[in-house]
Structure formats: structure tokens, C-alpha cells
Amino acid sequence: MDIETNSTNHDNHENESKSSTVILFLSFAILLACMCKIIFSRILRNKIPLPFTIVVLILGFIIGIIVTEVKNRHNDFFFGESQLSQIDPHLIYYIFLPLLIFDSSFNGHFHIIKQQLLSAILMAGPGVFISTIIIAICAIYIFPYNWSWLFGILFGSILSATDPVAVVALLHDSGASRSLASLIDSESLLNDGSAFVLFLIFHNIIIGEDHSAKNIIVNIVKYSIGGPAFGLACGIISVIILNRINNELEVEITFTFGLAYLVFYVADVELGVSAVLALVAMGLYMSKYKYCISNNVQSSMASAWRLITYFINILIFTITGLILARSFIGTATTIRARDFGFSIVLYIMIHIGRILTVAILYPLIKCSGVHLSWKDCIILVWSGLRGSMALILVLIVSLDASIDIVIRDRFLFHVSMIVLLTLVINGTSSKFLVKILGLHHGTKESETVLLQALEHMRRQTSWKLSTMKRDDKFASVDWQMLNQYLPDKLLEELDQENNTNFHQQLSRMTHENSPTSTRRSSRQSISADFELQTIPTIYQTNSMPSSPIAQHKFSRHSDTILPVIDIRSNDDKHNQNIRNALITRFLTAMSIDYEKQWYLGMVRRSTLNILIKSVEEAKQKNSFQLHWQLIIKHFRLTILHQFLIKFNYFNFINRWTNQLLFDHIYRTIELTLGFHSAKTRLDNIRSQFPELSNINGTIMNEVCEEVKMYQILAMHVILDLQQSYPLCWTIQMTRRCAQMLLKYESIAIIQLYETGMLEENEYSHILELIENKLFTLEYGRIQMPENKKKMLEDPFGLISYFEPLSSVEKTQWKVLMTPKHKWFQPGSVLLEKHQRVSIAYLIVRGVVQCKDDTIPTYYKCGSIVGIDALFSEKSLSYGTYTANAGLVETYLIDSVLLNLLLSDEKMSCSIYNEIALHMLMNNYRKSFNLTHSQLNMLLNEKVSFYKNQSNLTIDLETNQRLFLLSGTMTRYSNEQENIFDSMQFIVIDSPTTFKLNSTSIVYTWTQEDEIYCSNAKKFKIDFTNENFQNDPIEPFYPLYLGESTEFSPRRHSSLITRPIENLSNFQLIPSEIGIQSEENVPTEFSQL
């Protein structure tokens, strides 16, 4: 008994020893792969165009061939190779595939993939089907194996799964078409799932399951819809959970790894749906809301996934090489020399099928919005590499004993050959093909911008070098030796690697910028001395002038144009492409700024997701306008809001509606502040990178003016939100300041720790408390001031017309006005131009824009749009009145209600002033030189108002003005008597007497009154287009003003809190803005 036990223990120990040899072989393979990468990158300087994964595959293949041919294999290294080469493919499927699939989807750029999603679905759906059928036809009718259609389609589904990782990496590195790289990447992500669905269906049929048409349709629906639906549900739950975790680095990273395996297992084993499509759907959804990961974990999360996928790729391609080697040798009994020829034919047919697929689907791809050139189509065809997915699927077939051994061997051989041929031939030749097609340089316009960026780098480095040469501390430096480390040398090396001529172009710039050939800037306001000043390269002088940007910092001009070569073109298409390139870079700067605002606590994660989503979609269309419009979409009331508003006569519904509206306005304020705050970075771009103006100064100015226009529109919305929703504004400003102060506290704690004033446990504990408070501000309930409820102010109380009334009268009017209450969504039309008006709109909150044939006019709280046409009854709507950018809250005013307002003695004067304001502006604007706000001031402060005063006589002098709003009056002049009907605007040319009657509504004023109002500086913000040329309005809310260049999005330190650039750069302004100093604080933009 003891002998048997010892023998068993010995066998177990021997088996364990053999199993442990896998670690020996894997460690050797990983180290060898790393050494190869170092050799290729450092020693060979990437001169051999082999992607790293292909190098690993070839290494594994060579090792597999050597080990297989060695007869004496009693060695731990050989045992390890043997164990790996015979690994169960299901093990590869469950260990490696979940992480690779989830990484590709989760760490992808969702907003870019979204643009290509329809095209990718076409390539991964109909495209995979076409490819499968073509490969099946080849296998059935060209191969002499007498395979049935079932085996042919199964074989085709295995070879339809593409793995273009090498081509995608090359396209990203080369700066080629982003849409093409995204399309290939998205197609690969989706077609793994669709090919796997086809494989499962026909594999199950072959091994004996029901293969009726009904069962096939049910399986297709179950796999293709059930998988994504389950993945989407898991993604939603995961985002909710991760949003509630705050800066738990280990927990968040581990959660994503565990989640990938769990979802894959449940989908595949428990639910029987496509696990691949489930992971793709979940990963894409989490990528859409990638900021569910805490800001301090983002960088570490990306690094962790990058490391694990790098490690997995080494393992999987090493194992793939071993399996390929063993498959070639292991199938020697059933494979003949002719089969190699058939594999080459199959390789050709796969590319023919790829060509047909692209050609058939090209019109549909073009209709989906993706425009591919013929060069892009060639790369798309050549990118059909086969990789690990095809090998996993064929290994599953090769281990299935229910299939004939000869068929299994032939499947394994041909798939292995195609994987090897596509990876080696297509993978290695892709770099040459990209160069031949000229796609490695990117677009001409992107090169133009890059050239100016390189020139900027060279100038700044040269300026820094000049300061060093003047500094005695650097007296011992060998400046000649230092030339090897300066931009000119770097540019030469860059040109050698990428086959470009940037150094030559910049040298030509330097020559043309000599004192005798330097062109003057079109900005004549810059001094001539500065225009003629040039900055030579380090080879031309040993001393240099001060930095031109630094010495011009305090100039009254907002930008500086350096005297570099002016790259201009009269080609409209080229100019449009330059414009698109500049807009894309500005939008990229805005997205970086949004991430910085999130880090600094200025915006929440949900707000950041909206801003990033809108800016990414705008980048696809190269449009600032689209970015602003997409943000405005989130200002709109949801369907739930609109439904609840209709039933606001129930108290509990009314309270709920008010709370939802409060949250909605709170987010609207945050979105608008986030958009407007980004202007700081855009202003810095132009001042810190003036070379952009040399690309095309005209286009640069147009782009900057467009940016400025939308910033002013955002400021208008901010001012209205501040004045219309004071409680909401106060809460937002308080939270904003609290977030920034907590960041300030965390910086102070870090500095104390770095100086040794705090122990590590004290430092960690205090920082944890600060982070908890930050998290509470992020996701906790909005804290209200004492004795304040979470609801909007009563709209009736915001109307100034009702202020003179007693409390009883106010109650009566409130009951009368409440049924007339109505909201308008952003962009909604209140009145059409030349429309007969039966209802006017008393604006409570929001801004209404009136567009006519001249310049737009804007109306806000207290204005009654359409009241002139309603009062006159003969007039039509003057222009088209629309809700400008935010929500507009109004009361509907019909003719009955208007008569009631005019009959109230306490309000009638204000209502008549409003009518007169609209009448004068819409009908007599050319008769006086006053803006809308100035005319409003005139009517409320300077005019003499006469209402229904029978037999009253007024005497007017020369140059006085009279406006008859309603009724009739008699004019006595030069012994003549004339009767005037309303409406009349009269400029008195000689002393005149007017007699009023009981119907007369008359205004009079002097020319001096007009001059006084026209010179008034009360209204700092004018909505006319002329104001766009003024200096931009400075922010008047809490704003961090640090140097944005030091912030690196998603790459900042993994510390709990990263030190911010400069503590003195915080600008904290009280949340309740008092309009006292006209020089420092903008007043309301229009007293309409």
C-alpha cells in the first residue's frame, strides 16, 4: 500500500514538474520578444518594416519547428513548448479573448467609432457574409476535397474574422486618414462577433443539432441581438457602479478586468448568446461614458490595460507560432505538396473576395457618410489580415472528434497557412504600400500646420539657447557639441525616418526671413522694428535677441505675427482644408480644456461627457457651430418635463416638476460655463502660437472671430441664467468655489507632505477626507441654503409690471396669468415674420431673438414680443421671433388680457412704454440713432407721456419729437389745422401746437434727450454684430487661470491629487455678483 502511494505521489510530482515547465518556456519567450523589440527599435532603428506581433509570431514558429524536429526532447524547455503547443483552444478562448475584445472596445474612441459604426456594421455584417460565401465557393469548387456546403461555409466563417492590428497601428502612426483607420478598427471589432456567430451556427449543425431554417433564424437572432442587448445592460449597470466609486485605483482597475471575464462567461455559457458581441457592446458603452472612471485613476487604468494587452499579445502570438509549426508537421500524413498551392490560390481568392466586398458595399459606405478615396479602398482591401481569432476557431474544430480527421487536418493546415501568409506578406508590406500611395504624410494641410509647429519649437528653443549663452553659468558648455541635441538635428532624423523634407523647408524659411527678404506683416499696427526683426537658427549666430513673444507680451494687440514665410493659396479647396485643420485643432484644445475643468472640479462627470461628446462630433464635421448646437440640445426640456408641466395643477406633481427643472437649469448653467471657460485656452493658442497666422492670416482671423462669436453667445446665456435663476446660480457658484477650494487644500497638504511637515499616515488620511468631500460635491444631493427649497423662483414675481400692485391685486393677477404660462424650447419659433398676431408673449425668463433684414435684436425678461402687432391689429409681425439658445418662459397675452393690462392705472404706463418701444424700433428705426436699450431708457426716463387727456394743448419747439401711439390729435401751425391719426412720428421743424383728445396716447421728447441716451454707457453688452469686434468679455465667475499647457489629459500623475501649476492663479470671485463697478463687472446686456 505504501509502495502504491509513493508511486502515485511520484507521478503527481512528475506531472506537476512537467506543467511548471510552461512557466520556463513562457518567461523565455517573453524575454526574447522584449529583446527583439529593443533590437528592432534601438539598434536597427525600425528600418525593418516588421510589426512587433509578427516578429513574435515568427519567433514562435521558428522555435516550434526546431523543437518539433529535435528527437531528444527530454528537456524542461521542450516539455514547456510541448505543453503550450497542445493547449486547449477553449482555454485560449476564455483566458485571452475576453481581455482583448474588451480592451479594443473600452479603450477605443467611441465618438470616432460612432461616426464609422454604420459602415463598420456593413463590413462586419454583409461583408462577412459575402466573404464567407466566396471562400466557401473556393473550398467547394476549387479544392478537390468534395466538401459539402456546410463544411464550406464553416471554413469560410473561420477565415472571415480579420485581425488588422498591424495595419491599424501603422495608419495611426503615419497620420493617414483617421476615418480609414477607425473604419478598419471598427470592422475588426465587430466582424469577430459576426464571424463567430456564423461559426457557432454551422458548427452546431455539423455536430448534429437541428439545422432547420427556423432553428438557424432563431440562433442568428439570439446570437446577434441577445449578445449586444446583454452587453448593453451590463454596460449601463457598470457605469452606474463605477460612477459611485471615487479614486479607488485598485478597485476600479480590478473591477474592469473581472467584469470582462464575468460578462463573457455568463453570455457564452449561461445565456448561450454571443459573448464576443456582448463584450463589444459593453465596452463601447463604457467607452462612451469613459469618465465613469475617476480622474486620478484614468491614467493608471490606461497603463494597466496597455500592459496586459501587450503581455497577452506576446503570449498569444507565441502560442500561435507554436501551433502553426505543429500544424504543418502534424498534418504531414494528410497534406500533400499540392495543398500548398491550394493555400496560395485561397490567399488570392480571399483578396478577390475582399475586393468584391469593398466594391459592392462602397456605395452604401459612401451613403453612410464615410468618403473613401481609391487609395483608402486599396488599404481597406489589403488590411484583411487573419490572426488569433481564426486560429482559435480552427483549433476548436481540430479537437472535435465528431468531425473526420482528414477534414480537421485540412482545415488546420489551410487556416494556418492563410494566417501566416496574411500576417507576413500583408503585415510587412503595409508600410511600403502606405508610402507608395502617399498616405504616410497625412494631408497637405496637416503638414502645413505641422511645419509651423516645428518652426515654433525651433524658434523657442533658439531663444532659450540665446539666454543660456548670455548666462555665465553656462560658460563652460561646448556649444558645437550641443548642436547634436537641438531641433535642426532632430528634424534631420525625423526626415530620415519618415522620408520627409521638413528640415529643408524650414531652412528655406530661415533664408527667406533674412533682413533683406523678410515680409512685413499685414498688421500695420505692429511696429516696423518688430516686423523686421528675425530669429536666425543656432547655426547663424552665437547670441540671439529676446523671445519675440515674451517682449511683445504687454502689447495692446492680442496676437503677434512672426515674420516667417507666408504659406498662401488661392485654391478654395485648399483654403477650406486649412480652415478645417485649424478648427479641428481648436476643438481638440477645447476638449483638453474640458478635461482640465473636470480635474479642477469645475464640471461634473455627466457634464464632461456631454461636452466631450459634442466636441468630438463637431470635430468630425469641422464645425464650431455644431459644437454649440449640440450643447444647446441639452438645454431642451425632456419629454418627462413637458409631460409633468401639463399637469402642474396637482401640488405633488408641481413640486416634483420644480425639482426636476431646478436640476435641469443647474446643468444648463454648468454646461454654458464649461463652454465659455474654454475661451481662456483658445486665447492662449493665438498668443502663444502666433505662427498659425502665417498659414493663412485671413482664415485664422475668420476662425478666431467665429470662436469669439460663440463665446459671446455663451456669455449672453450665462448673464440671462444669472439674472433669471438667482438661487440656481448661487448654488452653482458655491459648489464651484467649494470644489476649487478643496483642490487648493489638497495642494497645500501635498506641499506640507513634501516638506516633511506631515507623516505619511497623516497625509493620506487628510487627503482621503478631502477626496470624500469632493466626491460628495460630485454625486451628493445639491445642498440648499437655510430656509430655501429646491425649486425655481415664482415666474410671476419676476415681472416688474406687477410690482406697484398691492398684495391682493397681485394675487388676483397671478390667478389670471397662471393659465397663460408656457415654456418654449431653444430654437422654437414664437412668431413668424409677417404673421397676423393674435397672441403676444410676455417673456419671463430666457432670451428671444428677432431676425429681420438687418441685424438681430434680442429681448429678455419684461419684454412683450409681438405686442405692437397685437395692439395695432392692422400690423403684422415685424420679424421672426425665436427662442435664442436657452429655454424661454412666457405668459401668453391675447387682446382681452392686453386691454385689462392697459386699463389698470398702475401698470398702463409701463405697458404703453413697451408698445411704443416696439412700434418705434420696428417702424421708425432710421429716424433716430438709438439702440434698443437706449430707446428703452429714453421712454422710461426722459419722455413726456400724455394719456387720454381731453382738450390738452402742448407746445413744441424746433427739433423736438412727438410720437402719436394711439387715437387722434389736432395740429395748429401757420394758421392751419391738421388732424393726425395714429401712428405718427413727427420731428418738429418749427414751433407747433398740438391739441389732444380723450383717445390720444402721445410721447414727446427733445433732441438733447436722444443725445443723452445715445451717450449712456450703462449698457456694456450689445447684441449687434458690431460688438463682435470688441475685446472679449472677461469671465465674471469662479475660474481657474493657471497655465493650461502644463495639464496633460488622461496622462497626469497617479497620485491622489496632482499639484496644480501655481496657487496664485486661482481667481475666486463671490458667487453673488454685485453690479457696481462698470469697469470690472459686466452689467445686464439689455434692459428690454
Which carries the bigger pLDDT value, residue 116 or residue 1013?
1013
Residue 472 has pLDDT above 50, yes or no: yes
Q: What is the pLDDT of residues 550-589, one digit of tens each?
A: 333 333 333 333 333 344 444 677 778 778 888 888 888 8
Give the percent of the chain with pLDDT over 70: 76
> For all residues of the chain together, what is the average pLDDT?
76
Q: In angstroms, how far is the first alpha carbon of the chain from the final one?
A: 104
Residue 149 CA to residue 222 CA, distance in Å, equals 23
Q: Where are the domains of the chain?
A: 2-85, 89-436, 444-551, 572-726, 815-923
pLDDT category of residue 331 using cuts at 50, 70 and 90: low
Q: Residue 704: how many CB atoms within 10 A of its CB?
A: 20
* pLDDT confidence band for 71 (50 / 70 / 90): low
Q: What is the Cα–Cα distance from 571 to 52, expressed in whole angstroms?
A: 42
Q: Which CATH architecture has domain 89-436?
A: Up-down Bundle (1.20)
Predicted local distance difference test score (pLDDT) of residue 1077: 34
Lowest mean pLDDT segment, chosen from 11-15, 363-367, 503-507: 11-15
Average pLDDT in the 804-814 region?
Answer: 90
Which of 637-646, 762-771, 997-1006, 1066-1075 is the least confident region? Answer: 1066-1075
State the DSSP string of 579-612: HHHHHHHHHHHHHHHHHHHHHTTSS-HHHHHHHH
What is the C-alpha to C-alpha distance for residues 602 and 1027, in angstroms, rounded to an integer?
Answer: 29
Residues 985 and 924: beta-carbon distance below 8 Å: yes
Point out the least confidently predicted range of 271-280, 407-416, 507-516, 722-731. 507-516
Contact 824, 871 (CB under 8 A): no
DSSP 8-state assignment for residue 987 = E
pLDDT at 224 over 60: yes
At 80, is the pLDDT very low, low, confident or very high (cuts 50, 70, 90)?
A: confident
Contact 428, 52 (CB under 8 A): no
| pLDDT winner (highest mean) among 108-122, 165-179, 237-251, 736-750 | 237-251
Q: Which residue's entry shows cell 480635474?
A: 599
Instruction: Tell me: pLDDT of 259 over 90.
Output: yes
pLDDT at 346: 92
pLDDT for the residue numbered 197:
83
Q: What is the length of the chain?
A: 1088
Average pLDDT over residues 121-126: 86
* pLDDT for residue 238 is more than 90: yes
Task: Place 182 in a pLDDT band, splitting at 50, 70 and 90.
Answer: confident
- The maximal CA–CA distance of the chain, rounded, in angstroms, is 145
Least confident range from 87-96, 141-150, 604-613: namely 87-96
Residue with cell 440648499: 784
| Residue 523 pLDDT exceeds 60 | no
Cα pseudo-dihedral 388, 394, 396, 398, rounded to 10? -140
How many angstroms separate the CA atoms of 744 and 735, rounded?
14
Can you spell out the DSSP letters for 400-446? -TTS-HHHHHHHHHHHHHHHHHIIIIIHHHHHHHHHHTT-TT--HHH
Does residue 778 carry a pLDDT above 50? Answer: yes
pTM of the model: 0.72
Which residue in 582, 551, 548, 552 sits closest to 567, CA to CA? 582
Average pLDDT over residues 1006-1030: 60
Q: How many CB atoms lie within 10 A of CB 190?
A: 26
* pLDDT(363) > 70: yes
Question: Which of 157-161, 763-767, 773-777 is predicted with the least confidence, judged by mean pLDDT?
Answer: 773-777
pLDDT for the residue 282 = 93
pLDDT in tens, 209-221: 666 777 778 878 8
- Calpha distance 260→100 (Å, rounded): 10
Task: Assign 974 to helix, strand or coil.
Answer: coil
User: Which of 49-58, 332-341, 665-674, 1042-1051 is predicted with the least confidence, judged by mean pLDDT?
Assistant: 1042-1051
CA distance 402 to 408: 10
**Would you place residue 498 in the very low, low, confident or very high pLDDT band (cuts 50, 70, 90)?**
low
Q: Which residues contact 1085 (CB under 8 A, 6 or more apart)?
A: 716, 719, 858, 860, 1019, 1020, 1021, 1022, 1023
pLDDT, tens digit, 9 for 90 and up, residues 430-452? 777 877 877 766 566 666 677 77
Q: Which residue has the higher pLDDT, 210 or 228?
A: 228
Residue ranges of the alpha helices (H) in 483-547?
Answer: 487-498, 502-512, 528-532
Supply the pLDDT for residue 1043: 39
pLDDT at res. 900? 92
Question: In DSSP terms, which residues pair with 831 in a beta bridge?
Answer: 881
Spatial CB neighbours of 20, under 8 Å, sequence gap ≥ 6: none
158-160-165 Cα angle (round to 5): 110
pLDDT tens-place string over residues 12-33:
555 555 567 777 777 888 888 8
pLDDT of residue 529: 35
Mean pLDDT on 226-244:
91
Question: pLDDT at residue 1047 above 50?
Answer: no
In 3D, which of 296, 265, 307 has the Cα closest to residue 95? 265
Tens of pLDDT, residues 891-926: 999 999 999 999 888 899 999 999 999 888 888 888
Residue 543 CB neighbour total at 10 angstroms: 9
Q: Which of 197-201, 319-323, 698-702 shows the highest mean pLDDT? A: 197-201
Cell numbers describing residue 71: 528527437
Residue 1056 is predicted with a pLDDT of 32
**Cα-flanking dihedrals φ and ψ of residue 822, to 5°?**
-155, 140
pLDDT the model gives residue 260: 92
DSSP state of 988: -
* C-alpha torsion 454→458→463→465, nearest 10: 140
pLDDT at 650: 67
* pLDDT at residue 682 tops 80: no
Question: For residue 654, with 0-12 CB atoms within 10 Å meaning exposed, 13-18 middle and 19 or more buried, which class applies?
Answer: middle
Q: Say whether domain 815-923 belongs to CATH 2.60.120.10.
A: yes
The span from the CA of 136 to the CA of 510, in Å, is: 62
pLDDT score for 193: 80
